[in-house]
Structure 1
Amino acid sequence: MADPVLLILSGSLRKEATNLKLAREAARLFGSAEVIEGDLNMPLYDGDLESAEGIPAVVQALADQVARADAVVISTPEYNKGPSGVLKNALDWVSRTEGNPWQDKPVAVMSAAAGRAGGERAQMVLRSFMVPFRANVLPGPEVHLAGSSKEFDDAGRLTSEQYTKTLLALMTGLRALATRA
């Protein structure tokens, strides 16, 4: 059997974003897979733009990646008690594409933030964003990486045994869902 396709999405565009590091760690702990990193750098959703030019290529590429993936990891920062605008914008754009690539898709959500709650509120809101897509969002274990800038070594690996253990449990559950589908 071929390796599953795992799509990872970071709600932060920064090259050294802790959410990107967390998503990459999730992919490592997921195990053998074809890993794709989705690009959320796209224009703001604008109905006039969509009417005039159609779905932008970067949006369609992301929708195609979601459709192709056997499972998806979404890691979000917390901005003003919610997910990033970049992530919400990408979800809104993908919802405008043909079909519903998220339908029944196994999805693991997680968050990394500077604060002591580790993005818990943002993750809760992100889960609600996924409801209309009817994705199969794992209920847990929840990964809320607090003080995230201090939780990775120079190679981008988690330094905390507890966070690593929780993330591994989440990825084990995601892999089980992905291989059953």
Structure 2
Amino acid sequence: MTTTILTLVGSLREGSINRQLAEAAAVHAPDSVDVVTFDALNDVPFYNEDIDNDADRPQAADALRAAAADADAVLLVSPEYNGSMPAVLKNAIDWLSRPYGAGALSGKPTAVIGSAFGQYGGVWAHDEARRALGVAGATVLDEARLSIGSSITRFAELHPKDDAEVSGLVTGVLLALAGAAEPIAA
């Protein structure tokens, strides 16, 4: 049985280190894990309950919800912007939390990883994302953590997929997500 893990990347820049970290997850995923990245977060408008109905809901929001509903688990890959998570990830969580109590994240195993320029690797952003995911109804795997500091120097000449330590840690997070998703799929 294959476990599908939906990856949401908080940096919209094509060459971002966090996007590269998501690529590393896809490259180093165990054979039983399929990592799928949702690449249209920039098309999802800010959550507005007035447009969250069958007549007005934007197609990009429906696509995001469908991708999350089809996945067995969700992985957020987040930088830290001004001490917090990027608005694009918070917006994705908002869309995925609705309808309240029955959103696409409800009961879904989730984890947050990422990298940032500072020495702590985005820990504040990752903690805020975990809290928002929990409030949204996700099952947050607090033990599946990875915050990589000093990203600009660490990955100046090395893609995260080629960093043996990072690759091993990312694989560990994916295995934790897959393990948490197995009982749900059974």
For normalisation by structure 1, the TM-score amounts to 0.86
Residue pair 2:122, 2:147 contacting (<8 A) in 1 also: yes
Residue of structure 1 equivalent to 2:14: 15
Q: Distance in 2 between matches of 1:170 and 1:101?
A: 21
Per-residue deviation, 1:102: 0.7
Q: What secondary structure, in the 3-state scheme, does the structure 1 residue paired with 2:15 have?
A: coil
Aligned-residue sequence identity (percent) comes to: 31
SS of the residue aligned with 1:173?
Answer: helix
1:104 aligned counterpart, secondary structure: coil
The superposition leaves residues 32-65 of structure 1 with CA deviations (integer Å, 9 ceiling, x where unpaired) of 3333211211222334554796221101110111
Letter in 2 for 1:101: A
1:40 corresponds to which residue?
41
Matched residue, 2:72: 70
Q: Which residue of 2 aligns with 1:130?
A: 133
Give the whole-Å Cα distance in 2 for the aligned partners of 1:110 and 1:148.
13
2:118 counterpart residue number: 115
Amino acid in structure 2 at the alignment position of 1:14: R
> Aligned equivalents of 2:54 and 2:145: distance in 1?
41
| Superposition deviation, residue 77 in structure 1 | 0.9
Alignment of 1:89-108 (within 5 A): 89-97=91-99, 99-108=102-111
- The 3 A distance-change label for structure 1 pair 34 and 164 is closer
CA 1:48–1:106: 2 relative to 1, 3 Å: closer
Unaligned runs of 5+ in 2: none
- Contact kept, 8 Å, 1:30 with 1:175, in 2: the verdict is no
Partner Cα separation in structure 1 for residue 154 and residue 55 of structure 2 = 43
For the aligned residues, what is the CA RMSD? 2.4
Q: In the alignment, which residue of structure 2 is the partner of 1:84?
A: 86
Equivalent positions of 1:135-174 (< 5 A) are: 135-152=138-155, 156-174=159-177
Q: Can you give the 5+ residue segments of structure 1 that lack an aligned partner in the other structure?
A: none
Q: How many residues align?
A: 180
Match for 1:94: what amino acid? L
Tell me, in whole angstroms, the C-alpha distance in 1 between the residues paired with 2:21 and 2:78: 10
TM-score (norm 2): 0.84
3-state SS, counterpart of residue 27 of structure 1: helix
Match status 1:178 vs 2:181: yes
Once the two structures are overlaid, the 10-residue window that deviates more, 33-42 or 17-26, is 33-42
Q: Which moved more, 1:161-170 or 1:146-155?
A: 146-155
